[in-house]
Amino acid sequence: MKMKIKMNLQKKIRYLMLFALLFTGISCNDWLELLPPGGLIKEEFWKTKEDVEAVLMGAYDSFASMDELLFKYGEIRADLVQYDSNLGSDERNMMQSNIYPTNYLCDWSQFYKVINYANEVIHHAPLVQKIDDTFTPYQVESMMAEAYFLRSLAYFYLVRIFRDVPFITGPTLSDGTDFYVPKTDGDEILRILLEELKTHRSSATTDGYATLAELKGRATKAAYDALIADIALWLFDYNTCIEYADNIIGNKDYTLMPSTKWFEIFYPGNSLEGIFEFQFDDDLNQRNSMYGLTQRYAYLYDPSPKALEMFAADYAARELYRGENSSIKKYGTDDYIIWKYVGRAPDGYSIRSGSEQNSCNWIVYRYAEVLLMKAEALSQLERFDEAHELLTKIRDRADVSAISIANSKIAYEDAILEERALELAFEGKRWFDLLRMGRRDNYARKAALVEIIIKNVPSTQKRILATKLTNPLGWYMPIAESEIERNRELVQNPFYNY
């Protein structure tokens, strides 16, 4: 009898267990592994070479969408633009060197995003190669070379804007990554990058791209050469600069555009002269900001008096091909705008329209600049004749007469600086050119830099600005306040430590 009850109980329990299992037996770790229903996650990514290329393109695209920032960092503190009524206070303050760490232009996050994307490509490309058999070593190397190029270019901007910055060379893969990286000396970063670029240059392609847009819009050997020459020039390593500039000069694919076709550098772009240009195409939803920034009704940035002296017909400028209706354009009696990103022709009235409006490229390097880089390096090595020859070549192309320059480094420095202003106006170069002059030979020509800049401000502000710029630390931007608050390893740039 007792047995029976026990049996009964066991039976019941067995039933219950079965019942319970019915509902709950599905337990296992897999059941808890829920993936997000929408969106792409790392577990599903980094499987094919297309994935690697897509992130590489993400880096290009993100860098390209900074065109407006590249313009601001390269131009607005210098003497070729002035502000108009619609300009925001942060930009105005920057133009007058009234820069506080709360200014949004102190935010470097966009550059670091590009750096992180590049780092991801460098990290993952070799790993993907192990999975994807179609991913050839050549392709891996060449994509990594592009990533190295973009990373170096981003750091080169950062160092020129902020001087010392955190030097991050690995991707931010997880929350285990050390985010709190202190600053590294800017010149040190550039020296490391220079060596890195020299190493990876061989992996970059020369003609491995199918389309013109890719040849100009992705990093080729020529783009490498231009960047190496530029960084070397910034580090005053003139021989390296000349060596790599010569690589381009010796390259038959690149040449100066004839003077009558000078404007084709900007419209339609991707000219024979272009070495590296961030590509925009409104038809592909890739819109640049420069049209919106400089078109007639934007009222943001206008050519400065200095720019008018160089280009405007009313100011007896001699520039036929690079002057009024090419670099700038006059409306009404005295309303001038920047024309390089607005026009379709050097006639002053053909305006970009339709999808072309937002399709002009942002030119990072072009042939004329490489010649001027080399000229600068030569003159600093006191090889004045060769420098003069290059300068004359640029002036000939612009159909302006050669100038005679005294055989001194300073005379050449000034002449080349002036020629760069004429040739590369509004292309995001001027401020960095001035800084390079100011920094050279241990700030020997600091006063010249200050003089050039204060010419562009109203007389009431000249003295204040001159005082501010006397300290070379004030040439660099402060680190954004929010960034200092986030990262206790960072020290504010000394000029702003009050």
| Contact positions with another protein (CB under 8 A) in 262-321 | 279, 281, 284-287
| Of 346, 348, 344, 209, residue with least CA distance to 268 | 344
Count of Cβ atoms closer than 10 Å to residue 496 Cβ? 18
- Taking CB under 8 A as the criterion, the residue among 23, 332, 401, 404 binding another protein is 23
3-class DSSP state for residue 82?
strand
CB nearer another protein, residue 56 or residue 337: 56
Q: Residue 182 — φ and ψ, nearest 5°? A: -75, 175
Q: Residues 419 to 448: which contact another protein by CB under 8 A?
A: none
Q: Is the dihedral of CA 300, 305, 311, 316 positive or negative?
A: positive
Q: Which stretch binds another protein (CB under 8 A): 18-26, 376-384, 386-394, 444-452?
A: 18-26
Furthest C-alpha separation in the chain: 125
Q: From residue 174 to residue 213, what is the string marking binding to another protein with x (rule CB under 8 A)?
A: xxxx-xxx-----------------------------x-x
Q: Contact between 108 and another protein (CB under 8 A)?
A: yes
Give the strand pairing for 301-303 and 81-83: antiparallel
Closest CB to another protein among residues 2, 42:
42
Residue 184 main-chain phi, psi, to 5 deg = -120, 145
**Binders of another protein: how many residues, by CB under 8 A?**
81
Please answer whether residues 63 and 150 qualify as being in contact, where contact means their C-beta atoms are separated by less than 8 angstroms. Answer: yes
For the segment 52-81, give every residue that binds another protein (CB under 8 A): 53-55, 57-62, 64-65
CA 179 vs. chain centroid, Å, equals 23
Q: Which stretch binds another protein (CB under 8 A): 13-21, 78-86, 145-153, 302-310?
A: 13-21
Find the shortest distance in angstroms from Cβ 63 to another protein.
Answer: 9
Q: Which of 68, 90, 91, 107 binds another protein (CB under 8 A)?
A: 107
User: What phi and psi values does residue 286 have, to the nearest 5 degrees?
Assistant: -100, 100
What is the four-CA torsion angle of 100, 105, 107, 108, rounded to 10 degrees? -130
Residue with smaller CB distance to another protein, 64 or 328: 64
Nearest CB to another protein, comparing residues 159 and 312: 159
Closer to another protein by CB, 57 or 272: give it. 57
Q: How far apart are CA 69 and CA 158, in angstroms?
A: 12
**What distance in Å separates the CA atoms of residue 258 and residue 264, rounded to the nearest whole number?**
10
* Chain position carrying tokens 């960095």: 432
Among 71, 73, 83, 117, binds another protein (CB under 8 A): 117
- Is residue 19 at the binding interface for another protein, with CB under 8 A as the rule? yes
C-beta separation of 274 from 216 below 8 A: yes
Entry field: residues in the chain: 498
Which of the ranges 50-58, 235-243, 375-383, 422-430 carries the binding residues for another protein, by CB under 8 A?
50-58
Q: Should residue 123 be labelled a site residue for another protein when binding is judged by CB under 8 A?
A: no
Which of 2, 4, 31, 353 contacts another protein by CB under 8 A? 31
Site for another protein in 124-183 (CB under 8 A): 165-166, 168, 171-177, 179-181
Quick check: bond before 268 cis, omega within 30?
A: yes
Q: Which of 18, 485, 491, 497 binds another protein (CB under 8 A)?
A: 485
